[in-house]
Amino acid sequence: MAKVIPFKAVRPTRDKVSLVASRSYQSYTQKELEFRLTYNPFSFLHIVNPGYKYHQDITGQERYHLVRNRYLEFKEDGIFEQDDTPCYYVYKIVNREGRSFSGIIAAASAEDYKNDTIKKHEDTIEYRENVFKDYLKTVGFNAEPVLLTYPDNNTIATIISETQKERAEFEFTTTYRDTHYLWRLNDEKVIDRIRREFETITPIYIADGHHRSASSYLLSEDLKAANNAHTGNEPYNYFMSFLIPESNLKIFEFNRLVKDLNGLSKEAFLIQLDTMFRIENRGNELYTPNKKHHFSMYLDGNFYSLYLRKNNTKFSTPLDALDTQILYKTILQPILGITDLRNDTRIQYSHGKNDLVTIKTKVDNGEFAVGFGLMPICIDEMKAIANAGLTMPPKSTFIEPKLRSGVTIYEF
Question: Do 205 and 308 reside in the same domain of the chain?
Answer: no
Question: Do 206 and 261 reside in the same domain of the chain?
Answer: no
Question: Do 384 and 272 reside in the same domain of the chain?
Answer: yes
pLDDT for res 313: 81
pLDDT for res 56: 83
For the chain, the first-to-last Cα distance in angstroms comes to 23
Question: Do 66 and 32 reside in the same domain of the chain?
Answer: yes
Question: Do 138 and 280 reside in the same domain of the chain?
Answer: no
pLDDT for res 238: 98
Q: How far apart are CA 287 and CA 278, in angstroms?
A: 15
Question: Do 235 and 320 reside in the same domain of the chain?
Answer: no
Question: Do 261 and 216 reside in the same domain of the chain?
Answer: no
Question: Do 211 and 273 reside in the same domain of the chain?
Answer: no
pLDDT for res 302: 97
pLDDT for res 355: 78
10-residue block means of pLDDT along the chain (412 residues)? 96 97 89 94 96 85 96 98 98 95 98 96 91 97 97 98 98 94 97 98 95 97 97 97 97 96 98 97 94 97 96 91 97 97 93 87 97 96 96 93 96 96
pLDDT for res 160: 98
The domain that contains 389 carries what CATH number? 3.30.1760
Residue 66, Cβ density class (10 Å: 0-12 exposed, 13-18 middle, ≥19 buried)? buried
Question: Do 10 and 133 reside in the same domain of the chain?
Answer: yes
Q: How far apart are CA 80 and CA 134, in angstroms?
A: 24
Question: Do 390 and 404 reside in the same domain of the chain?
Answer: no
Q: How far apart are CA 140 and CA 64, in angstroms?
A: 10
Cβ–Cβ < 8 Å for 226, 134: no
How many independent structural domains does the chain possess?
2
Q: Which domain holds residue 311?
A: 254-396
Question: Do 75 and 173 reside in the same domain of the chain?
Answer: yes
How far lies 124's CA from each of 111, 130, 154, in Å?
A: 18, 11, 33
Query: What are the residues whose beta carbons fall under 8 Å from the beta carbon of 290, sequence distance 6 or more?
Result: 375
Question: Do 268 and 385 reside in the same domain of the chain?
Answer: yes
